[in-house]
Amino acid sequence: MKIPNGNYIVVEGNIGAGKTSLSRKLAEDLNARLILEEFSDNPFLPLFYKNPERYAFPVELFFMTERHKQLQSLLNKGSLFQQYVVSDYIFSKTLLFAGQNLQAEELRLFQNLFHTLNASFPKPHLLVYLHRSIDDLIDNIRKRAREYEQDISENYLEKIQNAYFSFFKIAEKELSILILDVEGLDFINNPFHYKIIIEQIQKEYPKGLHRWKLEQKVG
């Protein structure tokens, strides 16, 4: 299996979109080095979902420093046996989420630090975004039953979704971005659905924004 765009692939998506699950399968098939966000280690996350205004700054600052430490370590570490790198997040999501959660003064401080840290990272050769409806995201969040996620509102998910699409309008000048509408596709348990997704990822994409949606229902 080969990816023509390059060897650094990022799978992104809203909360509950399935980005980590797809990243695991993709990394296994590519024999790739896998980078997964360690969000469960953030001690402020459960507190944030209960009291966003109070805990927004520490939760975002913790995410940024941990993502930076992880990417700096793993992206700069070569491997003789692994050609590809697959990650379930792009560092830019740090600023994307912060923009939704921080107050103006906090955000200005956060942006300065983010741009300093972001300058050292290579850009992914392909950014795959998994798009699902808000109802589908809520359903997935309930199914995976992480206690601290159960109070996430539809309004918050919609804000995050809109933030991603605003980011894409800027980033498409520098990145190859593939938006996959995976509504109704179970690429984890259904091999045919997974094959459909992989066929799209394996196509060659120039820099810019590319969209794919299945035109007919599949079993």
Q: Read off the pLDDT of residues 14-29 as tens digits, 9 standing for 90 and up.
A: 999 999 999 999 999 9
pTM: 0.90
Q: How far apart are CA 108 and CA 70, in angstroms?
A: 24
In the β-sheet with 176-181, what is the strand arrangement from edge to edge?
Answer: 33-35, 85-87, 8-13, 126-131, 176-181, 208-213
Within a domain: residue 155? yes
Within a domain: residue 116? yes
Within a domain: residue 1? no
Question: Crossing angle for the helix pair 93-101 and 104-118, nearest 10 degrees?
Answer: 170
What is the number of domains present in the chain?
A: 1
Exposed (0-12), middle (13-18) or buried (19+): which is 103, by Cβ within 10 Å?
A: exposed
Within a domain: residue 145? yes
1 in helix, strand or coil? coil
pLDDT in tens, 138-187: 999 998 888 878 888 999 999 999 999 999 999 999 999 999 999 989 99
Within a domain: residue 160? yes
Within a domain: residue 189? yes
Give the domain CATH number at 144.
3.40.50.300
Q: How far apart are CA 199 and CA 204, in angstroms?
A: 11
Within a domain: residue 219? no
Query: Which tokens belong to 155?
Result: 């309004």
| Domain encompassing residue 168 | 8-213
Within a domain: residue 200? yes
